[in-house]
């Protein structure tokens, strides 16, 4: 799937102003020499984040939060780098670098949100305002997790595979990847991550004997996003409203499962969502 911007992208300053409640930079203000120099700054190397994930995340995507809580310096260092990126730098990056940066920021902030509490909460939903109220410094602006996801990633990019990569610290979330996302590898990483999610018990469960297909509730919550995927204009018999989702899923499973999904001859429902913490 090709990475692409939305057909009507918003200027970064306007987006961040909306997301954080800050006033956007006037469009008539010319960029300064300093802004032009900053714009040439490449996307930060997330190698430190990858090193952290390799230590604290296992092959199932579960996190050793207690160990991370006892040694948070590496995570805090990475988040300081996220905060220090300028809007001008971000705006100059190619879309794949922007998406990778924002996914990494979201996942790192989620980890930090969990380990800030002693004792560690049983579920991220036990943290007041974790998605909408609590803000974090990203590109020098105060943004909530919801602002990163909904006001920038989902609004700016036609890329539904982000939902396989953004991890909200719950068992039923997609598994947390043991490496950070990077612009040059993003397409391959998102493809692999989507297939891995759907191959697990919280993404897709097909029971041919019972004639049922159960999918993650994430597909219902963000159903409109899958209409942006290539090939989403077709139709799956008996499942007109869910066709875009089912066609997307069919493109990321094995040949036998794909053939079955495209028949439409099954009852479709959502898997129960387990909000328990994705801890090991």
CB of 188 closer than 8 Å to CB of 276: no
Tokens of 45: 């190397």
Strand order in the sheet with 212-215: 204-207, 212-215, 267-270
CA dist., res. 77 & res. 62, Å (int): 22
CB of 77 closer than 8 Å to CB of 48: yes
Q: Given its phi and psi angles, is residue 211 left (phi above 0), alpha (psi -120 to 50 degrees) or beta? A: left
pLDDT over 70 (residue 4): no
Tokens of 181: 């996302």
Tokens of 264: 């439409």
Provide the pLDDT for residue 121.
Answer: 98
DSSP for 31-56?
PPHHHHHHHTPPPPPTHHHHHHHHHH
pLDDT over 70 (residue 154): yes
Characterize the bridge pairing of strands 212-215 and 204-207.
antiparallel
* Ranges of each domain in the chain: 12-270
Provide the pLDDT for residue 245.
Answer: 97
- pLDDT-derived band at 3 (thresholds 50, 70, 90) equals low
pLDDT tens for 208-254 read: 999 999 999 999 999 899 998 887 789 999 999 999 999 999 999 99
Between 5-19, 69-83, 183-197, the lowest mean confidence (pLDDT) is in: 5-19
Residue with the two structure tokens 């948070």: 72
CA dist., res. 177 & res. 164, Å (int): 10
Half-sphere exposure of 181 toward its Cβ, with a 13 Å CA cutoff?
Answer: 31
CA dist., res. 22 & res. 96, Å (int): 26
Average pLDDT over residues 21-44: 45
Between 28-37, 74-83, 236-245, the lowest mean confidence (pLDDT) is in: 28-37
């Amino acid at each position: 799937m090709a990475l692409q911007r939305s057909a009507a992208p918003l200027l970064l300053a306007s987006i961040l102003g909306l997301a954080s409640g800050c006033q956007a930079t006037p469009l008539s203000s010319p960029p300064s020499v300093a802004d032009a120099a900053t714009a040439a700054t490449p996307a930060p190397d997330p190698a430190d984040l990858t090193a952290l994930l390799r230590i604290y995340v296992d092959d199932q995507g579960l996190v050793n939060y207690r160990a991370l809580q006892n040694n948070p310096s590496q995570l805090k260092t990475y988040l300081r780098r996220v905060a220090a990126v300028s809007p001008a730098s971000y705006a100059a990056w190619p879309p794949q670098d922007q998406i990778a940066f924002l996914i990494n920021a979201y996942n790192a902030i989620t980890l930090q949100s969990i380990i800030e509490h002693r004792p560690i909460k049983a579920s991220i939903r036990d943290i007041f305002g974790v998605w909408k109220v609590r803000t974090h410094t990203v590109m020098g602006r105060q943004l909530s997790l919801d602002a990163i996801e909904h006001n920038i990633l989902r609004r700016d990019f036609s890329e539904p595979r982000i939902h396989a990569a953004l991890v909200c610290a719950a068992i039923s979330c997609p598994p947390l990847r043991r490496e950070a996302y990077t612009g040059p590898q993003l397409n391959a990483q998102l493809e692999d991550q989507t297939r891995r999610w759907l191959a697990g018990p919280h993404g897709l469960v097909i029971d041919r004997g019972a004639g049922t297909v159960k999918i993650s509730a994430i597909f219902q919550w963000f159903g409109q996003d899958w209409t942006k995927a290539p090939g989403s204009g077709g139709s799956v018999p008996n499942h007109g409203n869910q066709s875009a989702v089912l066609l997307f899923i069919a493109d990321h499973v094995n040949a036998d499962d794909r053939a079955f999904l495209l028949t439409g001859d099954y009852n479709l429902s959502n898997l129960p969502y387990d909000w328990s913490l994705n801890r090991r």
